[in-house]
Amino acid sequence: MIDKIHHVGIAVHDLDEALRFYRDTLGLHVQAQETIEDQGVRAALLTIGESEIELLEPTSPEANMAKFLERKGEGLHHICFQTRDVDGDLETLKGKGVQLVDQKSRLGLAGMICFLHPKASRGVLVELATPMELYSD
């Protein structure tokens, strides 16, 4: 089911300020950056070897990420595992009774993605992703 850790998501108040540290100070390469309207975030993926860090800034005070930051502050938001078949794995997890956030995959910065509920994974928000170059519908 899981090939590797794809990325670790980090919640930030200010994406530009966070990029000054991760990109400018640490020298990480920005692989992708965009606003994802349906998730209410500005996001950037930064490459580290074969994995990435995703920085996530809320686009409005009503966004889920803003609520997360209000409750927990900046820091670790989620861990994303890469899979070759996000849709098939999601169906397998449903069949096993795993509590989910998403009932079907959706497009995200990392490809086709879905989230498992933190209650299913001992308090950690888990994302599964199939990069678009591996995704076949």
In the block, residue with structure tokens 């996530």: 56
Note whether residue 100 is domain-resident. Answer: yes
Note whether residue 71 is domain-resident. Answer: yes
Number of domains in the chain: 1
Note whether residue 135 is domain-resident. Answer: no
Note down pLDDT in tens along the chain; length 137 residues. Answer: 899 999 999 999 999 999 999 999 999 999 999 999 989 999 999 999 988 999 999 999 999 999 999 999 999 999 999 999 999 999 999 999 999 999 999 999 899 999 999 999 999 999 999 998 988 76
Note whether residue 136 is domain-resident. Answer: no
What pLDDT, on a 0 to 100 scale, did the predictor assign at position 135?
85
CATH number at residue 45: 3.10.180.10
Note whether residue 137 is domain-resident. Answer: no
pTM (2 decimals)? 0.92
DSSP states of 34-74: EEEGGGTEEEEEEEETTEEEEEEEESSTTSHHHHHHHHH-S
Phi then psi for residue 67, to 5 deg, are -65, -40
Domain span holding position 124: 4-130
